[in-house]
């Protein structure tokens, strides 16, 4: 199928730069900002727009695309308000027409193409012919193409960063996820290990079921408990022993979401699994959410996006009410504009950005929870 563009918005955003820079003075919500919050202000405020930008987006009414575009506009207005922006930004909806490829190739400046659905063959052919002035953002399905810069959150190799932790034992772990595709992708990876990982090292959890019983089953506590009951029936007396857990697991990787992680981690404590080291992948703690509790994640560690750990004023009154997933998509749009202008090493709302060949990589913060405190570590 052939595609084309209908420009529905031409946004040459004009807003006067604030002489008092209230955006900067009101950036922190906390009275005593930490090192990470200060680093975010520094990187965001020093990133000035160098290029005219055109944002192409697909017409599928995706809420994810809406949030991404909102983040793009948020970054643009932020820069405009502090006098850092003299360039224009245009938003163009992609519709089906034979002139699509020629249109995007004829435009000057940098171009971002954001889509949610899987690309059709004509789009793939066109996008494969693009150069490094183009940024292809996939908010769902990942499409590998040469030429354009590619970014997709689902294709980030956070596991590699996590497993490099000196406390992690790759030979003695289990990976828990609510997404079977994520487990399969990890098992097929050749970057982290040279031997095949046992199927016992992967566990799929059901977010709608009781986590305590699922964790007990994973560590074979239910079998041990059954053996205890059978033995008690045989001898006719109560046996005061704690069910024995699997000894081949010392590390657990948990990939979930902020509204599930605060239920999974307590399930380990419920089953008296205090000797297991728990490593969480990003999007496991949302500091903005009033129901989030540091105590639920006590004695765990992992990776997290800076924006989910630090309350800062991005100029959006609605941002605090977004789900963690919506905050992440908004932040990707906000960050990408600044990364295009700042280049490798830019530290944004999702972490530090870099490029490897034509793949844009994100390195979130290292984080640990101990004694009611959140300990953040810059890379």
pLDDT of residue 369: 94
Structure tokens belonging to residue 230? 């059978």
pLDDT surpassing 90 at residue 245: no
Task: Provide CATH code, domain 4-156+311-363.
Answer: 3.40.50.2300
Give per-residue pLDDT as tens, 343-356.
999 999 999 999 98
Q: What is the pTM of this model?
A: 0.84
pLDDT surpassing 60 at residue 223: no
pLDDT surpassing 60 at residue 15: no
Give per-residue pLDDT as tens, 132-183.
899 999 987 666 777 789 999 988 888 878 777 777 777 778 888 888 777 7
311 or 6, which is more confident?
311
Q: Determine what percent of the chain is predicted with pLDDT higher than 70.
A: 80
17 or 144, which is more confident?
144
pLDDT of residue 14: 40
How do the domains of the chain map onto residue ranges?
4-156+311-363, 158-310+365-377
223 or 336, which is more confident?
336
- Cα separation, 342 vs 345, whole angstroms: 8
Give per-residue pLDDT as tens, 69-111.
999 999 998 988 887 677 889 998 887 677 778 888 888 889 9
pLDDT surpassing 70 at residue 194: no
Q: To the nearest whole number, what is the mean pLDDT of the chain?
A: 80
Phi, psi of 266 (to 5 degrees): -60, -25
CATH 3.40.50.2300 fits 158-310+365-377, yes or no: yes
State the residue for tokens 């129901």. Answer: 291
């Amino acid at each position: 199928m052939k595609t084309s563009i209908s420009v529905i918005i031409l946004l040459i955003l004009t807003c006067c730069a604030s002489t008092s820079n209230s955006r900067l003075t009101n950036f922190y919500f906390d009275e005593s900002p930490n090192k990470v919050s200060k680093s975010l202000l520094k990187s965001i405020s020093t990133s000035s727009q160098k290029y005219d930008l055109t944002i192409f987006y697909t017409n599928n009414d995706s809420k994810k695309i809406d949030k991404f575009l909102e983040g793009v506009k948020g970054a643009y207005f932020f820069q405009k308000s502090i006098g850092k922006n003299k360039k224009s930004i245009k938003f163009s909806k992609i519709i089906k027409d034979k002139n699509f490829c020629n249109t995007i190739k004829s435009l000057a400046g940098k171009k971002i193409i954001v889509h949610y659905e899987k690309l059709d063959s004509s789009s793939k052919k066109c996008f494969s012919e693009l150069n490094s002035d183009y940024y292809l953002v996939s908010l769902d399905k990942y499409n590998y193409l040469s030429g354009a810069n590619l970014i997709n959150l689902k294709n980030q190799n956070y596991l590699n960063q996590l497993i490099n932790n000196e406390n992690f034992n790759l030979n003695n772990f289990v990976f828990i996820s609510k997404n079977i595709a994520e487990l399969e992708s990890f098992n097929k990876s050749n970057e982290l290990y040279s031997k095949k990982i046992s199927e016992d090292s992967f566990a799929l959890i059901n977010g709608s079921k009781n986590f305590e019983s699922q964790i007990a089953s994973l560590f074979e506590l239910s079998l041990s408990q059954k053996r205890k009951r059978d033995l008690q029936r045989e001898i006719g007396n109560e046996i005061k022993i704690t069910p024995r857990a699997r000894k081949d697991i010392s590390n657990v990787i948990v990939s979930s979401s902020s509204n599930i992680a605060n239920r999974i981690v307590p399930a380990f404590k419920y089953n008296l699994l205090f000797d297991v080291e728990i490593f969480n992948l990003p999007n496991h703690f949302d500091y903005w959410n009033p129901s989030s509790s540091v105590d639920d994640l006590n004695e765990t560690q992992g990776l997290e996006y800076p924006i989910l750990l630090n309350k800062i004023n991005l100029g959006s009154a609605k941002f605090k009410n977004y789900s963690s997933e919506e905050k992440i998509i908004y932040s990707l749009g906000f960050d990408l504009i600044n990364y295009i202008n700042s280049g490798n090493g830019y530290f944004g709302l999702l972490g530090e950005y870099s490029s490897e060949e034509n793949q844009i990589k994100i390195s979130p913060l290292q984080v640990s929870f101990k004694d009611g405190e959140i300990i953040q570590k810059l890379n």
